[in-house]
Chains A and B, each alone.
Chain A
Amino acid sequence: MADARNAPESLSAVDVRHVARLARLRLSDGEVEAYRERLAAVVGYVDRLRGLDLSGVEPLSAAPVSVASLGPDDPGPTLSPGSVTAMAPESHDGFVRVPRVMDGGEGGA
């Protein structure tokens, strides 16, 4: 743990901004430094994994569960269109409404 705190430079402000952008989060300049400091401490801690000899070990992404077989593929009732649009922050005429996508939307900025 002490090692982690001695190496707070393991993560730069540029890294934090990049990661925030990938994660669709917006941080103020002040927040970038605060997150950098605390994320660097955690990254420094998890860096201890890099020293382990794991050659020949297969990854395990989840504990195996005896699911036996796939379930039947029978169509059945699901959420009604009305209950889906009722959950959306903004909807119109049975559609979920979003701001413009082209010209300054997700592609721009």
Chain B
Amino acid sequence: MIRGLSDATSIVRAVHTRETSARDVTSAALRALGAVEPRLRAFLCTFESEALRAADLVDARVAKGERPPLAGVPVAIKDNICLGPDLCARGDGLGYGGTTTAGSRILARYRSPFTATAAQRLIDAGAIVLGKTNLDEFGMGSSTEHSAFGVTRNPWDTDRVPGGSSGGSAAAVASGVCPIALGSDTGGSIRQPAAHCGVVGLKPTYGRVSRLGLIAYASSLDQVGPIASSVADAALCLQAIAGHDGGDATSAREPVPDYSARLEDKPQRLVVGVPGQARSGANSPELADAFEASLNLLRGLGAEIVSVDIPMLDHAIAAYYVLAPAEASSNLARYDGVRYGTRANLSPQEGLRDLYERSRSEGFGEEVKRRIMLGTYALAGGYYEQYYATATKVRRVLREAFGRALATCSMIATPATPGPAFRIGAKTADPLAMYLEDVYTVGVNLAGLPAVSVPMGCTSGPGKPLPLGLQLIGAPLQEASLLQAAAMFERARGPLTHRPEVTAI
């Protein structure tokens, strides 16, 4: 990073005024990436020469008088978001030409023929893609340990996980490689790694951002969104990627407000609802203290803190681990070793069933197989009513309860996670313990709501300091109010008391 240019807002201003060039910003970001990457392993592939060529194109646009809203901003893209061979909309043949693996062996050599809408919109806005980031295979995990291509480490403590599944994107932003990265969030995969890495993560309303080109995990829950170094940068990113896309039938036809315009205004009246579950005894003591301190900070800013009652939140994890695997078992049926992806080496005696079973068994990792089987079980004859149908009813009750709560308050606050980032390996042998990591985030996906995770403080030890995240949940399409409240909180909180151990800034 160039000194003083560690956030997207400053970079865009400096590139627009030609105080610096997109090329210089990109070179600095690539140096930063090279410096921290050996210790973090946040990236699955990087695009040095392509990024510099893309930066030159942005500089040329600026020279012609254009003012691209993300001019020269280095970004990282989670590797379940497709980048095609010809990325440049202007037809000059610029291509990033990388693979899109979704963290899976079954897509190890897959090259997408097209680019995801969210990524294309960032590129059109002048952002420079540095590389693709590591993730839990197909987004299935909360630690980035379930990647076929190795574990990403937390920049605050490299013995700990960065969270997941967008752990590579969160680590890239937290270590100062780039101020913005794209993640995807099916049950917390943007907000939880953002919290564990001390950065901002926003899961937009279901339908707010196009999923065209996002490799599907659970289609009724998946949403693309920003991980960013600040609330203002998250707003800039959302501005670029939000909005209707004819290529995604679940993309909302709703106007996109100006997310940055009112970011510094104080919300007129802020009533923050706190569900009882937010104060669970399972929270780590330091997190519980940081959460109360955050509520006090909000109170000091004029917010009214009220209790809200969402009893069905107790069952969100159980419903999620029926619905998400059920959808995954269907979505991942496409990996059959026939049309794309890896095919097992068959002997001449083997037939089509061998091809399916061996390609899938050799191509998928353990957690993916576990979720496919769980979903197949929940949808199987005799169990469908008991599991899948029941979970969809829990989902309706939960959405309605959130709706009632959000009719009485402006937003809902909970911790983003029950505790700070855990040690690598601590939860891999116990899937259920890993699933409970998402206790505060999955309900939001089931209800289709927007939510932001913003750093609320750090642990004070023993051991290295670790960041903790506050989650603010809003009514559908209320991202602007959420970002405004998060920005107010961020200003009042001030800089975090500690910095990551591995940082390029």
Contacts and interface: CB of A to CB of B under 8 A. Distances in A.
B252 A65 contact: yes
Interface in A46-68: 46, 48-50, 52, 54, 57-68
A19 to B, nearest CB: 5
Contact of B321 (A16, A46, A96, A99): A46
A54 B393 contact: yes
B361 A42 contact: no
Given A25-B360, A49-B322, A87-B340, A99 B352 contact: yes
Given A90-B343, A106-B353, A19 B393 contact: no
A26 to B, nearest CB: 4
B373 A96 contact: no
A20 to B, nearest CB: 6
B181 to A, nearest CB: 25
B376 A19 contact: yes
Contacts of A59: 389, 392-393, 395-396
Contacts of A26: 357-358, 360-361
A14 interface: no
A88 interface: yes
A22 B246 contact: no
For chain A, which range describes its interface: under 10, 10 to 19, 20 to 34, or 35 or more residues? Answer: 35 or more
Contacts of A96: 338-339
Nearest to A20: B373
A81 B358 CA distance: 27
B390 to A, nearest CB: 5
B250 interface: yes
B380 interface: yes
A15 B393 contact: no
B207 to A, nearest CB: 4
Nearest to A69: B253
A75 B262 CA distance: 42
A57 B398 CA distance: 11
A24 B375 CA distance: 13
A29 to B, nearest CB: 14
Nearest to A89: B343
Contacts of A99: 346, 350-352, 354-355
Given A24-B360, A49-B391, A83-B113, A63 B399 contact: yes
A66 B252 contact: yes
B252 A67 contact: yes
Interface in B301-331: 315, 317-319, 321-322, 329
A87 B110 contact: yes
A42 to B, nearest CB: 6
B254 interface: yes
A4 interface: yes
Interface string B355-399: 111101100100001101110111010000011011111111101
Nearest to B436: A1
Interface in A1-60: 1, 4, 11, 15-16, 18-20, 22-27, 35, 38-39, 41-43, 45-46, 48-50, 52, 54, 57-60
Contact of A25 (B351, B372, B436, B449): B372
Nearest to A79: B113
24 contacts: A23-B329, A24-B360, A25-B373, A45-B317, A46-B319, A46-B387, A49-B390, A49-B394, A50-B386, A50-B390, A54-B390, A60-B395, A60-B396, A63-B206, A65-B207, A66-B207, A71-B249, A79-B114, A87-B111, A87-B340, A98-B338, A98-B352, A105-B352, A106-B352
Interface of B: 110-111, 113-114, 206-207, 219-220, 246, 249-254, 315, 317-319, 321-322, 329, 333, 336-343, 346, 349-358, 360-361, 364, 369-370, 372-374, 376-378, 380, 386-387, 389-397, 399, 430-432, 435-436, 447-449, 476
Given A49-B315, A59-B392, 10 more contacts: A22-B380, A23-B369, A27-B361, A39-B374, A49-B322, A49-B387, A52-B315, A63-B399, A79-B114, A87-B113
